Amino acid sequence: MEKNFVSNKDESVVMFKSPVLDKMSRIHWSVPLYLFVPVVLFFLYRSIFMLHLGALVIAGFYIAGIFVWTLLEYVLHRWVFHTPLPGELGRRLHFIIHGVHHDYPNDTHRLVMVPSLSIPLAFVVYFIFWALLGNIYVAPLFAGIVTGYLVYDMTHYAIHHYGFKSKYWLNLKVNHMKHHYQQPDRGYGVSSILWDVIFQSKFKQK
């Protein structure tokens, strides 16, 4: 993706002629919390009181789920959000999926995933791991994956709109700003830089 940002102001752009569709492309940062915190709580409840899994098993799969999310985050950002699509329709779709964020990086209402994307993605991820792990161990793992997703969404919003003082969070902010304004073909991790290190997509020193 070329460095093509348009505005550093908290402003938006109309993406759809339909007012309904355009409104659906915007979301308040808190919506993912209302949608998915109950999901996390349900699968933890299911793990404890319905499946009667031990504390170590639940903790292990839950932490593994958070780790799995960091990889999903990286894969989605690098190979889905940043992969050019052919033709005019492809360019339009690419802009809708992620290009708009690079053009308007501080648009308050386009910084977390809209439900039309996050909910289908959640179902796909759940059934993939259900097929791999079965009906029992997928519960704590999925709770961890969704927790990781929520951390990612809240981190992404805060990176663009919050002044960090902690060194760890400030480093994440600096890393993401480099992705936006200097090297958009590197630094794909948002909530973690782990996979940029592993896949050698850290920023090049100039």
Residue 1 in domain: no
Give the pLDDT band (50/70/90) at residue 163.
confident
Q: Looking at the predicted structure, is the pLDDT value of residue 201 above 90?
A: yes
Hey, what are 206's tokens?
């100039």
Residue 30 in domain: no
Q: Looking at the predicted structure, is the pLDDT value of residue 3 above 50?
A: no
Give the pLDDT band (50/70/90) at residue 2.
very low
Q: Which one, of 173, 140, 167, 161, lies nearest residue 67 by Cα?
A: 140
Asked if residues 1 and 181 have their Cβ atoms less than 8 Å apart, the reply is: no
**For the purposes of burial, counting CB atoms within 10 Å of the CB of 127, is it exposed (0-12), middle (13-18) or buried (19 or more)?**
exposed
Q: Which one, of 140, 11, 134, 8, lies nearest residue 66 by Cα?
A: 140
Q: Looking at the predicted structure, is the pLDDT value of residue 54 above 60?
A: yes
Give the pLDDT band (50/70/90) at residue 93.
confident
Task: Tell which wins on pLDDT, 193 or 7.
Answer: 193
Task: Tell which wins on pLDDT, 67 or 24.
Answer: 67
Q: Looking at the predicted structure, is the pLDDT value of residue 8 above 80?
A: no
Q: What is the mean pLDDT of the chain?
A: 91
Residue 80 in domain: yes
Residue 28 in domain: no
Q: Tens of pLDDT along 60-81? A: 999 999 999 999 999 999 999 9
Residue 56 in domain: yes
Asked if residues 181 and 3 have their Cβ atoms less than 8 Å apart, the reply is: yes
CA angle (99 as vertex; 96, 102 as ends), nearest 5? 135
What predicted TM-score, i.e. pTM, was given to this entire model?
0.92
19-28, 65-74, 89-98, 130-139: least confidently modelled range: 89-98
Q: Domain tally for the chain?
A: 1
Residue 27 in domain: no
Q: What percent of the chain has a predicted confidence (pLDDT) above 70?
A: 96
Q: What angle, 0 to 180 degrees and rounded to 10, lies between the N-to-C axes of helices 167-181 and 138-161?
A: 70
For residue 107, what are the contacts with CB-CB under 8 A and spacing of at least 6? 10, 11, 12, 13, 100, 101
- Three-state DSSP class for 131? helix
Range of the domain at 145: 37-198
Give the span between the Cα atoms of 118 and 130, in whole angstroms: 18
Arithmetic mean of pLDDT, 122-145: 97
Residue 6 in domain: no
Give the H or E element holding residue 166: none
Tell how far CA 97 is from the center of its chain.
12
Residue type, 128: I
Tell how far CA 154 is from the center of its chain.
9
Residue 25 in domain: no
